[in-house]
Amino acid sequence: MRARPNVDVVLVDAGGSNLGSVRCALRRLGVEAEVSADAGRIRAATHVILPGVGAAAPGMARLRESGLDRLIPTLTQPVLGVCLGMQLLFEASEEGDTACLGVIPARVRRFDGAAPRVPQMGWNRLRIERDDPLLAELAQPAYAYFVHSYAAPVGPWTLASADYGGAFSAMVRRRNFVGMQFHPERSAAPGARLLANFLREPAAVRAGATGT
């Protein structure tokens, strides 16, 4: 499984501790990704990945310090948010009552008392909600590895959901922005397939792309 040739991938340096593991997962697909917080370098990339592990408020503070909170929502190439990076694509997070990037018009909330325990840490099944090129050739059933205490609601942006005391968005899309709440770099073959599919997304926004 290899990415399509001639991709130029930048990992946004927002202080996420999973930068190294995502970079290694991309290397296994034949892609050497650069880590950068430089706006010009990020804007020039064909594909941008926003990783993240930690809390919403420090993550957004790091983006604001470098002006990337203004840049990222304007990007027109494929953008992937991973774990906290996906949550930051939303309008706001209940975690620290944090204003986020505002790409997806919904609020991320903490798991409630129906969840078996918080955080969710381990494998969970992905339930496909609608067709999308990002899900191409994903074998079913597909399981992914999650580590999180906050989750995004299911809505028109949801490509795949998972259940943990109730349904939440496991994968999302709005225009050229996609997100994975789980860690694809730790999700074995399904994660590798999803990363490869992301890297095959055309570098410009697709006409008629799914999402709202």
pLDDT, tens digit only, all 212 positions of the chain: 665 668 999 999 977 667 889 999 999 999 999 999 999 999 999 999 999 878 999 999 999 999 999 999 999 999 999 999 999 999 999 999 999 999 999 999 999 989 999 999 999 999 999 999 999 999 999 999 999 999 999 999 999 999 999 999 999 999 999 999 999 999 999 999 999 999 999 986 543 444 55
pLDDT score, position 52: 81
- 150-151 and 142-148: which strand pairing? unpaired
Q: How much is the pLDDT for 209? A: 45
Catalytic status, residue 183? yes
Secondary structure letter of residue 77 according to DSSP: S
Determine the pLDDT at residue 208: 40
Q: What is the DSSP letter of 134?
A: G
CA distance linking residue 31 with residue 15, whole number of Å: 21
Please confirm, yes or no, whether 83 is among the known catalytic residues.
yes
Q: Which of 47, 83, 148, 201 is catalytic?
A: 83
**Beta carbons within 8 Å of 207's beta carbon, 6+ residues apart:** none
Annotated domain spans of the chain: 9-199
Of 95, 100, 129, 185, the active-site residue reads 185
Cα–Cα distances in angstroms (integers) from residue 157 to residues 87, 105, 129, 147, 171, in the given order = 13, 9, 10, 21, 8
So what's the pLDDT on residue 53? 76
The secondary structure of residue 67, as a DSSP letter, is: T
CATH number of 9-199: 3.40.50.880
pLDDT of residue 207: 38
What pLDDT sits at residue 18? 76
Residue of 47, 100, 129, 183 with catalytic role? 183
Q: Quick check: is 24 catalytic? A: no
